[in-house]
Structure 1
């Protein structure tokens, strides 16, 4: 049974803001943030994720259960926001030719560490979702498990880039924080169950380092309707939307995710779409 334990290592003090933020500012802030956070993330969540494991979110739904990607054997697969490559490594264990892409240099170092430990290598590159360094029609599947998408300001460009590198009929699947969570404080206790802001307020959430004044984190909100429109506008046909329920026996805390909240409201949305 996963226990309700959550550890936070020291990080520079920040002040939260709600304001516009550009793609360049988001990218610089979030890349550096993940470099700082990568060691803590892997130490705290690595055992839950598994070195060769594919989870779609804190609820613990696996790709073996969800089958969002379809058949991956002998398919060319790209993971956007691959972190330490756990999901891509699982795809490779199933016979798929998975490649990882991540903005964080430190996360990619962890991927190399796990490659060495498991003997199952994931070829990975450092890059951004808005400028995928691959040729047109390179992949049969593109996916992102809580990867890059909610940290991207220029989301139209990111979705268009996904469509560009996919082959006709290719599969795009991704998980994000459920858009309804935007209304609530990011708090795993009962205090996180009271709506405090508008679901339709798309003003980004930004953290600024108190010492340097630099933007240190940025997150972008889109409604469910926004995501449907984005996919349709890039030539995708939405086929699946999963909202995993919190499972019995999972007492794990993961940021704002917990049994307290998960028993009442969805925390994760998983989209699956095919390129027309």
Structure 2
């Protein structure tokens, strides 16, 4: 999950290619990884599976089902906290992330905890694994919002999943894109169209290059892309903001969380219902 920090940049809403997205977001996460882990590491837990800023855990949600003796892939694994939790539940989890620095943090936590997550550097649109390698693929605020070619990313997930395998991911709730990304009351007034799918793009003032990209899709877009690749949706969770939870994470906060969802969690199965 991101609470991206604009620095000396200008913001645009315009189409961005997959190549531009990848070449912007990988280095951006390399620059931000230390701050991210320092700021949010305790909340995430070295061995913890949190689906979003509301603090809903996989232990509570159960979207992945029983992971014991399952081959599990986390796409956009960051420092591997979620995969490490899966391993403590008996699953054979591996991680994949675009950021070299995030993977260095994953290795650091491997050594500190003794729970090792084998991880590779790669992108969601070209998974370096054989067909049918996994029983479960998941992404907790990782990768999917940062890729331009979502169709290719979901197709890759379908390819590496075994028949009947589970797929789950969390994203910024699509309705949140109507509002300013502000944790206070300013963030409760809709100022732009929900159907404006143009990505959020930051341009570095010094170089003129794209330095960060985040992509918006509607709920219908997510349903359609999953259906197009043979997935049956099994869950759509919209976590409420817990009482007494005073954490501010970027645009997520108690002020906004009392009125509007900040996170959407999709669960799906590869194949028709009942398989």
Fold shared per TM-score above 0.5: yes
The normalised TM-score by structure 2 is 0.96
Which of 63, 84, 94 lines up with 1:68 in the alignment? 63
Residue 228 of structure 1 pairs with residue 228 of structure 2 = no
Alignment equivalent of 2:240, drawn from 238, 245, 260: 245
1:113 to 99, 108, 118: 108
2:88 alignment partner in structure 1 = 93
Alignment of 1:125-274 (within 5 A): 125-274=120-269
Q: Does 1:47 pair with 2:42? A: yes
Cα distance in 2 for residues equivalent to 1:185 and 1:36: 24
Deviations 1:193-215 (A, max 9, x none): 00010000101110001111110
Give the drift of 1:49. Answer: 0.3
**TM superposition shift of 1:249:** 1.4
Equivalent residue for 2:19, pick from 6, 24, 43 = 24
- Structure 2 gaps of 5+ residues are none
1:3 alignment counterpart: none
Task: Give CA deviations for 1:127-163 in whole Å, capped at 9, x if unaligned.
Answer: 0000000000000000000000010100000000000
Query: Would you say how many aligned residue pairs link Structure 1 and Structure 2?
Result: 269
For structure 1, list consecutive stretches of 5 or more residues without a partner in the other structure. Answer: 1-6
Task: Give the superposed CA RMSD.
Answer: 1.1
Distance of 2:102 and 2:209 partners within structure 1: 22
Cα distance 1:19–1:74, how it changes in 2: closer, same or farther (>3 A)?
same
Equivalents in 2 of 1:261, 1:252: separation in Å?
A: 12
- Offset at residue 232 of structure 1 (A): 0.3
SS class of match (2:139): strand
Moved over 6 A (4+): none
What's the TM-score, normalizing by structure 1? 0.96
